[in-house]
Amino acid sequence: MHDPACPPHLFRLLNPALIGAACLALAGCAEQGPAAAVHELTLLPEPVATAAPLPGGDNVLRRVHFRDRHGEGLLVLERRDETHEDADSGEVLDVAVLTAQLHARLDPRGAWSKQWQRQIRQPCAGLDLEAGWFLEHVGVTDLDGDGQAEITLASHTFCGGGIDPHQLHISLIDGGTGYGIEGETRVSLPGEEPFGGEHHGSANLATAPAAFVQHLEALWSTLRAQPITM
């Protein structure tokens, strides 16, 4: 029953009726047969730039193209580096910027329209700076089966020195509503007690559908112990 192309945490958190739909929808899963009906979530090949240019520039790391009950959607992930002068101290800071944008269109030949943008900025002065997306865990699902895609974002940031926890940012966006978990990685060193690993949910997480909460918590459990290479 387990498809190795699909993240194993999906099989722990979904009931049997939802496993097939979620596996098909999550970005990075293998194609699961013929395209679904238009009212179901379907992954599509990356669109080709024609008269309408594709959203995103030279810093694009990944595009996730899909169709749900609203039409075509395109999730665009980017990362770039900037410098910024602190207004108070005048110190020049290095800044890593992670950006996720959702674009949509009804006409396959038409232009894309940006629906929303989420951005994480990690400033750092004179220390190790790191930021990135967990690309294999970013994607689209339809966990509640309503035909509307949910977007899962997962990223990590760090500014420090030595062996310290990295910050984790996990969110699920359903239409105009977002739910999330913020926290840090758990650090385990030989002969020492593990440290870090604390986390907290967004204020509205308690009101989220159970499938959303299970999805976020399962992803958190996976990522908090995952090694991060700088």
DSSP-assigned states of every residue in 65-117: EEEETTEEEEEEEEEEEEEEE-TTT--EEEEEEEEEEEEEESSTTS--EEEEE
Phi then psi for residue 135, to 5 deg, are -60, -35
User: Is 70 exceeded by the pLDDT of residue 14?
Assistant: no
Confidence (pLDDT) at 195: 84
- Is 204 domain-assigned? yes
CB 53 within 8 A of CB 78: no
Percent of the chain with pLDDT over 90: 62
Q: Counting every residue, how long is the chain?
A: 230
Q: Which pLDDT band holds residue 172 (cuts at 50, 70, 90)?
A: very high
Rounded CA separation 76/60 (Å)? 7
- Is 54 domain-assigned? no
Q: Number of structural domains, the chain?
A: 1
Q: Where is pLDDT greater, at 12 or 115? A: 115
- Is 53 domain-assigned? no
Q: Which pLDDT band holds residue 108 (cuts at 50, 70, 90)?
A: confident
Q: Where is pLDDT greater, at 89 or 140? A: 140
Confidence (pLDDT) at 159: 96
Helix, coil or strand: residue 9: helix
Average pLDDT in the chain: 84
Confidence (pLDDT) at 196: 84
- Is 116 domain-assigned? no
Domain span holding position 206: 9-44+68-75+126-223
- Is 186 domain-assigned? yes
Q: What does the CA dihedral 207, 186, 22, 60 come to, rounded to 10 degrees?
A: 100
Mean pLDDT for the stretch of residues 108-117: 92
- Is 143 domain-assigned? yes
Percent of the chain with pLDDT over 70: 80
Of 35-44, 62-71, 171-180, least confident by mean pLDDT is: 35-44
User: Is 80 exceeded by the pLDDT of residue 203?
Assistant: yes
CB 228 within 8 A of CB 185: yes
- Is 171 domain-assigned? yes
Rounded CA separation 79/59 (Å)? 6
- Is 91 domain-assigned? no
